Amino acid sequence: MAVISLAQAINQALREEMRRDDRVIVMGEDVGRRGGVFLCTEGLYEEFGPDRVIDTPLAESAIVGVALGMAIYGLRPVAEIQFADFIYGGFDQIVSNIAKIRYRSGGQFSAPLVIRAPYGGGVKGGLHHSQSPEAYFIHTAGLKVVIPSTPYDAKGLLISAIRDEDPVIFFEPKRIYRSVKGEVPEGDYTVPIGVSRLVREGSDVSLITYGAMVYECEAAAEKAEKEGISVEVLDLRSLLPFDGEAIIKTVRKTGRPIIVHEAPKICGFGAEIAAFIAEREILSLQSPIIRVAGYDTPFPLVHEHLYLPNERRILDAIKRAVSF
Amino acid sequence: MAVISLAQAINQALREEMRRDDRVIVMGEDVGRRGGVFLCTEGLYEEFGPDRVIDTPLAESAIVGVALGMAIYGLRPVAEIQFADFIYGGFDQIVSNIAKIRYRSGGQFSAPLVIRAPYGGGVKGGLHHSQSPEAYFIHTAGLKVVIPSTPYDAKGLLISAIRDEDPVIFFEPKRIYRSVKGEVPEGDYTVPIGVSRLVREGSDVSLITYGAMVYECEAAAEKAEKEGISVEVLDLRSLLPFDGEAIIKTVRKTGRPIIVHEAPKICGFGAEIAAFIAEREILSLQSPIIRVAGYDTPFPLVHEHLYLPNERRILDAIKRAVSF
Amino acid sequence: MQMSIVGCVMGAFQIISLDGSADEEHLPELSTSQMLKMYRDMVLARRLDSWLMRLQRMGRVAIHAPSEGQEAAMVGSAHTLESEDWVFPSYREIPVYIARGVPISEILNRQFCNEEDPLHGHDMAVYGSRRHKIVPAPVPVGMQIPTAVGFAMAAKYRGEKAVAITYFGDGATSKGDFHEALNFAGVFKAPVVFFCQNNQYAISCPFSRQTATKTIAEKAVAYGFEGVWVDGNDVLACYSATKRAIEKARRGEGPTLIEAFTYRLGPHTTADDPSRYREHAEVEKWRERDPIARFKRFLIRRGLWSEEDDAKLHEEIEEDIKLEIEKAERKRPLKPDVIFADVYESEPWHLAEERDEFSRFI
Amino acid sequence: MQMSIVGCVMGAFQIISLDGSADEEHLPELSTSQMLKMYRDMVLARRLDSWLMRLQRMGRVAIHAPSEGQEAAMVGSAHTLESEDWVFPSYREIPVYIARGVPISEILNRQFCNEEDPLHGHDMAVYGSRRHKIVPAPVPVGMQIPTAVGFAMAAKYRGEKAVAITYFGDGATSKGDFHEALNFAGVFKAPVVFFCQNNQYAISCPFSRQTATKTIAEKAVAYGFEGVWVDGNDVLACYSATKRAIEKARRGEGPTLIEAFTYRLGPHTTADDPSRYREHAEVEKWRERDPIARFKRFLIRRGLWSEEDDAKLHEEIEEDIKLEIEKAERKRPLKPDVIFADVYESEPWHLAEERDEFSRFI
Ligand SMILES: Cc1ncc(C[n+]2csc(CCOP(=O)(O)OP(=O)(O)O)c2C)c(N)n1
Ligand SMILES: Cc1ncc(C[n+]2csc(CCOP(=O)(O)OP(=O)(O)O)c2C)c(N)n1
Ligand SMILES: [Mg+2]
Ligand SMILES: [Mg+2]
């Protein structure tokens, strides 16, 4: 099996799905000739032409709003927002129109579309090229929210997202676009939306995470292991709907849940997971529910490696949990 | 002291602050001659004229974006968004520009402005006239978020918000604009941002809430009292920053926190409060942390009284907490 | 035809004068029965509107956004549509639905939110129907415009001959979505018609405060396609201008922005009090330009209609509406758990749980 | 002057021809020293730009958005500003800062994110300074435009004579914010100048795909004020057009949209590879229209400048830049806890807590 990067896996998913299904079209800023600023759409313009790989004017609200019109027609648009930080320009369309079209129309119309965007920090992008805005969308009924962390999942989840009958916000951890490589089968397979991946088994502490943080968690888990603490790592993959069962299972097992994400802490997705656990599994808890998250400031250009949760901070949380 | 409605208290705060400070201007759709669709700006146009009470074109992004320019100049704009449901049109400006101007500029510029909007359900407004979008803003560093529940607080908090050096999102529970009346002193006073209000003391269960839900909680608390359960009710008033001390105090006292809000549950503000408690006060807990919230659907037109948390649902949660 | 405007204003395109006389040269090719059907639709829309206003005042239906005064713009334009065309309306377009053949029973089911409400009681004041190729409006102003453009782009990609028409008000033209959508349409030559009803108010905001241009039509300059300014109280002018735009779009020659200059005679919605922001005299002036009266004068002048016909028509329509109201009101209300319907295609576990919990409280 | 455009295109306004000869009738009233200052600013901007490109390639500074080729548009326009005027730039406007009198040391402190970085290392590729009345750009394209309008409205409310000028690219004109802001400016007659540098690309998107109009200038029609199309590689034409617009705004006669038609000679940013989307030949063609060479020819033709002067100037500037780079690079880096600065005026409890926690990890 070929070993490819996360960005290449995205590219492969798009290419194969476009070959299989002529309803699938790709649109966004610089997705055509330029192949996307991260080259996720490289080669698609050459293979499928300008009618299916559409370079758009610079207008995020129209990109997603137009995608909705195409989806209502019966196409399967995959709209790219160049950086997740610019998705707010299309926020009104996403939250008020796309997320609600099925509900608004009494089920007569729906929005089978995907909005892809690179997200997260670690690329020296500063304030507006580093954000993790997933919580805004998880709070919005009618959407699905997916974040892959491996090339295999990226391809399988993106294909699922394209085939899904509802709108999927698909955030890609840009920091690991190239650095993370893995085996990806050619051809058709899917990874189901809503199901997490157990990255690593353990019995003392559960790290519940997603995106690029999976790797920080794995590193911290390994360090902890050396100090005799057994750490389980759960990669959620889907944030809405999230895999409640798997969360409960790991909490029952270890009693010490720690949630790790890049986004700011207050009202981040970690809050939901913590609340979910605190509502259902309080008797399983052996420690407080700890969140290791981005700080509640805008995303800084300098010292971003200190802003982002890292091995050290996660390890510290692990130790606090076991010594509670 | 005059007994006035919540809407009248808002009106009084604006009027008095405009009299005191000529930097204060009011702008938005229909705020002038029409006096606002809920009449919160009634009479201001007549008193202060079109230069200070500005009827704007229908453009939410410009309303808040222009307000930012005015604030940078040195004015104190109070921008009205006609319904909180339409604030998403200005979301990009609020989240990317207004919330971050101080940070972006290294503290050279700031955004001392207020964005007021009626929010919440209970007025048969359907999908796009009933939403409670506070969580989106609480998750956004650089903003403050305030929701009053009484006329006294509405006036005092709005004056604080206008005088604040940072941008404040000020959501007004429209359902109780007229129905809730209370004593409001004429003249200058403030209610500080960041401090909650203990509505009612109790020892068995803590209801942590804000906005119109304060009254549902009070009603449920009274019912519970009759059944021998002593219920404390905390009105947060400020959601960012929120009054962490008061939350901890009530949780230590009762051990049974229940969070009540209208917004959908997943990633709502209740999640943050639950996570906050689960991180710090796990040993105080005598019951799971329960959330009573709007369901995770868009806001429906029909049966909204069943969609919204009500006395019955809150009472049920109280009983679940004490019988855990 | 002198309809196009590029950069300057020549006066709105008109066919029927106030007195009912016509510009014979520009009369569209319409059979008598077609014209009478248009007239009937306008009258039906007006009567239904007035019923909905009253029903709301009596507390029997929810909020209503009246169309009184704007029937020519809506009926005239909608009569140009073929069965394959799609409509992306706003919240004031009941006359369009009627012209599109939607039975008033369905509109009433909607307003009464009964068990046959096609939108399942999920939103107010808007309507949609897959069968009639009408996509229900999102209530936030202007938001449907990019959707119409995307739909049109998809139709073009598929080589289909469908055209999308979208309706919106003067206020909507100030929104970013209007701009982004029209710019896309220009770039991609989408087969779409932008139909703006300039009724001169956005709630209380007069047109002069909405924008500094004299017309909406000239805004098309900014997108590289044609803008057309038409008398929105003249049903034949609206028909002709729209027909031309639809045919142009169908031929692959791109979009058109049509401004129908008209007036909202009633309040913004049943929740509004227009006396707060406009003079009675202004309304009276515009009543004289009533589009239905004008069309009637035209029809009578040409011997196609009479006062007796008119009285009969009104009576017939009135009976019909009353009957349908009774029927709609008698239907069962929507079940409580309808609030959990239509969120996703298949219900995720968390909604199933919430629905379970919910069922304990009803 | 034939600068205005309403609805149709007459050709961009130009004063200096490619060969350096001038349209004497339209020459602005500028002293020799003013013109030489403009020339110096352009050269300084170009040299600094080329240094920043190299420094980035060497990994010594972060991402940079080059201005090569656009110096005439920026320096020409910025030289018209009075000290009371305010600038709302985008991310490509280093030549504007130079023209505004910002010392290059400050620009370099910014790029090196050292302890004297006026933005505290919080954002990339943008600059701002209260002292110089420059409000730093938000990186999302077009977002600064409504801010400039609001600022101008406030100045007008206060009866101050300040004018706001905002810079943005061709891509920005597709954004809703552009539209909403220009519409506001038209309605409120705000004293603001919209200065669009149409460098014909938004990253890879060519102007022809950005909009269906021939110019950006004609988009002003949609807002009821004047649009001006100017040769953006002609510093005097840019100066004259902007001066006229600034004076007009100062007199209370409202906004102007200026389109400076120019070309980005370099990549979009240091992260871009333009060979993916445009031909080398096209770039070469535009190199012939280099604004600095053209202005130099003009100055030499008029006996105001010589090749020797030029060599000396370049040398001097080069020395200066090198020195300042050294100084900037030697300054201390920003302290880690700077990431907690400037979130609110006074730190709320939750940030104090987080900062405490943070300090354990550095
Ligand atoms: C984005 C948004 N802002 C505000 C509102 C509240 N509102 C409803 S209709 C309306 C005026 C719309 O005016 P116009 O576009 O001219 O349409 P008309 O009502 O005149 O048909 C306003 C402000 C809304 N629905 N959406
Ligand atoms: C809202 C938004 N979308 C996308 C981007 C990514 N991006 C940065 S610059 C740019 C192109 C801007 O083009 P233009 O406005 O012509 O300015 P130029 O770069 O040519 O000076 C894009 C797409 C962004 N910064 N903001
Ligand atoms: Mg209107
Ligand atoms: Mg450009």
For D52-64, write each residue's pLDDT tens digit.
999 999 999 989 9
Taking CA–CA distances from B28, the nearest residue in chain C reads C205
Integer Rg of chain A from CA: 19
Integer Rg of chain C from CA: 21
Integer Rg of chain D from CA: 21
Helix, coil or strand: residue C77: helix
Question: How far apart are the C-alpha atoms of D23 and C49, rounded to whole Å?
Answer: 65
The verdict on A162 and A220 lying in the same domain is no
How many residue pairs bridge chain B and chain D with CB atoms within 8 Å of each other? 143
The verdict on A20 and A158 lying in the same domain is yes
Residue D4 in this model has a pLDDT that exceeds 90? no
Average pLDDT rounded to a whole number, residues B289-298: 98
Which of B202, B179, B219, B190 lies closest to B8, judged by CA?
B179
Strands (E), chain D: 4-5, 86-88, 164-169, 192-198, 201-202, 205-206, 226-231, 256-261
Average pLDDT rounded to a whole number, residues B46-75: 98
Residue C4 in this model has a pLDDT that exceeds 90? no
Atom of ligand 1 nearest to the CA of B89: 1
Residue-level pLDDT at C11: 74
Helix, coil or strand: residue A48: helix
Contact A67 C150 (CB under 8 A): yes
* Token pair belonging to B13: 């705060």
Give D13 to chain B, closest Cα distance, Å: 31
Residue D3 in this model has a pLDDT that exceeds 50? no
* Torsion region of C342: left, alpha or beta (phi above 0 gives left; psi -120 to 50 gives alpha): left
Residue C288: burial class (beta carbons within 10 Å; 0-12, 13-18, 19+)? exposed
Question: How far apart are the C-alpha atoms of A26 and D303, rounded to whole Å?
Answer: 57
* Residue C125 pLDDT grade (very low, low, confident, very high; cuts 50, 70, 90): confident
The verdict on A121 and A206 lying in the same domain is no
Residues of B in contact with A138 (CB under 8 A): 266-267
Q: Give domain status of residue A204, yes or no.
A: yes
Residue C257 and residue C227 in contact, taking contact as beta carbons nearer than 8 Å: yes
The verdict on A309 and A231 lying in the same domain is yes
Average pLDDT rounded to a whole number, residues B249-256: 98
Average pLDDT rounded to a whole number, residues A13-18: 98
Average pLDDT rounded to a whole number, residues C55-83: 96
* Torsion region of C256: left, alpha or beta (phi above 0 gives left; psi -120 to 50 gives alpha): beta
Pick the last residue of a domain from A122, A151, A183.
A183
Average pLDDT rounded to a whole number, residues D275-297: 96
How far out from the chain centre does Cα B213 lie? 11
Question: Is-catalytic flag, B305?
Answer: no
Phi, psi of A117 (to 5 degrees): -155, 135
Domains of chain D, by residue range, sit at 24-331, 338-362
Give B34 to chain D, closest Cα distance, Å: 19
* Residue D125 pLDDT grade (very low, low, confident, very high; cuts 50, 70, 90): confident
Q: Give domain status of residue A99, yes or no.
A: yes
Q: Give domain status of residue B32, yes or no.
A: yes
CB atoms within 10 A of CB B43: 13
Q: Which residues of D are designated catalytic?
A: 264, 268, 277
Q: Give domain status of residue A189, yes or no.
A: no
Give the closest of A62, A71, A92 to C181, CB-based.
Answer: A62
Give B278 to chain A, closest Cα distance, Å: 6
The verdict on B128 and B237 lying in the same domain is no
The verdict on B115 and B54 lying in the same domain is yes
For D231-262, give one letter per residue: b (16+ CB within 10 A) or e.
Answer: bbbbbbbbbbbbbbbbebbeeeebbbbbbbbb
For D237-281, write each residue's pLDDT tens digit.
999 999 999 999 999 999 999 999 999 999 999 999 999 999 999
A29 Cβ closer than 6 Å to some ligand 2 atom: yes
Pick the last residue of a domain from B183, B208, B227.
B183
Average pLDDT rounded to a whole number, residues A262-272: 98
For A22-75, write each residue's pLDDT tens digit.
999 999 999 999 999 999 999 999 999 999 999 999 999 999 999 999 999 999
Residues of B in contact with A269 (CB under 8 A): 267
* Token pair belonging to C69: 């005064």
Atom of ligand 2 nearest to the CA of D170: 16
Q: Give domain status of residue B53, yes or no.
A: yes
Average pLDDT rounded to a whole number, residues B274-296: 98
How far out from the chain centre does Cα C219 lie? 21
Q: What does C128-167 look like in DSSP terms, one character per residue?
A: -BTTTTBPPPPSSTTTHHHHHHHHHHHHHHTT----EEEE
Average pLDDT rounded to a whole number, residues C132-150: 98
Indicate if ipTM > 0.95: yes
Average pLDDT rounded to a whole number, residues C176-201: 98
Residue A211 and residue A106 in contact, taking contact as beta carbons nearer than 8 Å: no
The verdict on A307 and A275 lying in the same domain is yes
Catalytic residue among B128, B129, B303, B305: B129
Residue B312 and residue C362 in contact, taking contact as beta carbons nearer than 8 Å: no
Residues of B in contact with A141 (CB under 8 A): 264, 266, 296-298
Residue C30 in this model has a pLDDT that exceeds 60? yes
The verdict on B177 and B205 lying in the same domain is no
Residues A34, C191, D225: CA angle, nearest 5 degrees: 80
The verdict on B43 and B141 lying in the same domain is yes
Contact D276 A33 (CB under 8 A): yes
Residues bordering ligand 4, an ion, CB closer than 5 Å: D 169-170, 199, 202
Average pLDDT rounded to a whole number, residues B154-180: 98
Query: Which residue out of B303, B307, B312 would a mutagenesis test of the C interface target, given it has the greatest number of C Cβ atoms within 10 Å?
Result: B303
* Token pair belonging to D124: 């990339």
Residue-level pLDDT at C1: 37
Percent of chain A with pLDDT over 90: 100
- Overall residue count recorded for chain B in this entry: 324
Q: CATH number for the domain including A17?
A: 3.40.50.970
Number of C-alpha atoms within 13 angstroms, CB side, residue C275?
1
For D61-95, give one letter per residue: b (16+ CB within 10 A) or e.
Answer: bbbbbbbbbbbbbbbbbbbbbeeebbbbbbbbbbb
The continuous run of DSSP H or E covering A78 comes out as: strand A76-80
Residue A154 and residue A143 in contact, taking contact as beta carbons nearer than 8 Å: no
Number of compact structural domains in chain A: 2
Integer Rg of chain B from CA: 19
Q: Give domain status of residue A312, yes or no.
A: yes
Q: Give domain status of residue B192, yes or no.
A: no
Domain range for A280 is: 197-322
Phi, psi of D13 (to 5 degrees): -70, 130
* Partner residues linked to B168 by β-bridges: B114, B144
DSSP β-ladder status, B2-5 and B181-184: antiparallel
DSSP β-ladder status, A76-80 and A114-119: parallel
* Token pair belonging to C314: 């009104």
Q: Which CATH class is domain D24-331?
A: alpha beta
Chains that touch C (3 or more CB pairs under 8 A): A, B, D
Residue-level pLDDT at D11: 74
Which of D236, D94, D226, D103 lies closest to D167, judged by CA?
D94
Q: Which amino acid makes up residue D320? A: D
Q: Give domain status of residue B189, yes or no.
A: no
The verdict on A229 and A284 lying in the same domain is yes
Q: Which residues of C are designated catalytic?
A: 264, 268, 277
Residue A151 in this model has a pLDDT that exceeds 90? yes
Number of C-alpha atoms within 13 angstroms, CB side, residue D98?
28
Average pLDDT rounded to a whole number, residues C138-148: 98
Q: CATH number for the domain including A294?
A: 3.40.50.920
Helix, coil or strand: residue A279: helix
Question: How far apart are the C-alpha atoms of D224 and D202, rounded to whole Å?
Answer: 26
Query: Which residue out of A86, A266, A281 would a mutagenesis test of the B interface target, given it has the greatest number of B Cβ atoms within 10 Å?
Result: A266
D156 Cβ closer than 6 Å to some ligand 2 atom: no
For A164-180, write each residue's pLDDT tens digit.
999 999 999 999 999 99
Residue C25 in this model has a pLDDT that exceeds 90? yes
What mean pLDDT is reported for chain B? 98
The verdict on A233 and A295 lying in the same domain is yes
Residues of D in contact with C174 (CB under 8 A): 180, 183
* Residue C133 pLDDT grade (very low, low, confident, very high; cuts 50, 70, 90): very high
Question: How far apart are the C-alpha atoms of A38 and A46, rounded to whole Å?
Answer: 17
Give C121 to chain B, closest Cα distance, Å: 5
Give the closest of C138, C141, C336 to B303, CB-based.
Answer: C336
The verdict on A51 and A158 lying in the same domain is yes
Which of D134, D94, D26, D71 lies closest to D260, judged by CA?
D71
Residues of D near B (Cβ–Cβ under 8 Å) read: 117-120, 122-123, 126, 128-130, 135-136, 138, 140, 143-155, 157-158, 164, 176-177, 180-181, 183-184, 187, 341-345, 348-350
**Distance from Cα C203 to the centre of ligand 1, integer Å:** 7
